[in-house]
Amino acid sequence: MRHESLPDNSHVAKIGYGTSGIGGWILADRSQDARALAALRTALELGYTHFDTAEMYAAGHAEQLLARAISEAKSSREELFITSKVQPMHLSYGRVKKACEGSLRRLAVDYIDLYLVHWPNPVLPLKDTFRALNELAREGKLRHVGVSNFNLGLLQKSQKLSETPIVSDQVPYSLSHRSYVKNGVLEYCQQNKILLTAYSPIERGHLPVSDTLRNIASAHGATPYQIALAWLACQPGVITIPMSLDPRHIAENLAAADIDLSAAEIDQLDRLHS
């Protein structure tokens, strides 16, 4: 598994496991708990170490299910990298503190490796948000802080407000969705040692599969979606968090990080949808 380095010399896996949809969507759907737990157990057994969740996912139930799966697997906390996020309605100073405590409780952990502002909220000042995040980081409850769905201007503003380095901007990024390339965020992140975390890397299973993608996949004995993930993983400063409930796809997603694409193949993929 390939990794990316963080400012404190720790590492995060290039391909993690996203939990959007685990345990429900906006509200918790406990009727799906058995399937969700089975998927999380599979990910842990296969060797995933990077898990991405949020208080917004299934109204916090995704965090609870992740905690349960980790506990049942008896996984070492120190070997895991857990990301969670504070939702936009909770970006005032007091609510950030309360939201973080809620996530810590649901995840059954003493600290969160990376805590992100899930979406910007133009009504609530970022200075209040980061006043809380800075305090939480000082208290050791957050190892790293970052943002999600932030454009270049908001990312730069966040850097000025954060006492610790902004280590990631989590945005939609895939072969067919490159708006954060066109708006300059990817280049800025790569130039400033900020990880770009690509979510929806295979468009929830709807990524267009071109002949080029199919041919490269065939050459590697891989699926087109594995090649789409490998394309992301080969880029400096880019990590990604695909999600699946299917054990076969969970294994394929993880294995994609070890696919070595040639310079010519990368060039062909770069030119798709550009």
Q: Distance between CA atoms of 259 and 222, rounded to whole angstroms? A: 9
The number of helix segments (H) and strand segments (E) in the chain equals 11, 10
For 139: left if phi > 0, alpha if psi spans -120 to 50, otherwise beta; the answer is alpha
Among the listed residues 17, 48, 57, 173, the single catalytic one is: 57
Beta bridge partners of 145: 115, 166
State yes or no: is 111 an active-site residue: no
Q: Which amino acid, residue 166? A: I
Q: Distance between CA atoms of 129 and 113, rounded to whole angstroms? A: 18
Q: Are strands 166-172 and 238-240 parallel, antiparallel or unpaired?
A: unpaired
- Give, to the nearest 10 degrees, the angle between helix 263-271 and helix 211-220: 160
Residues designated as active site = 57
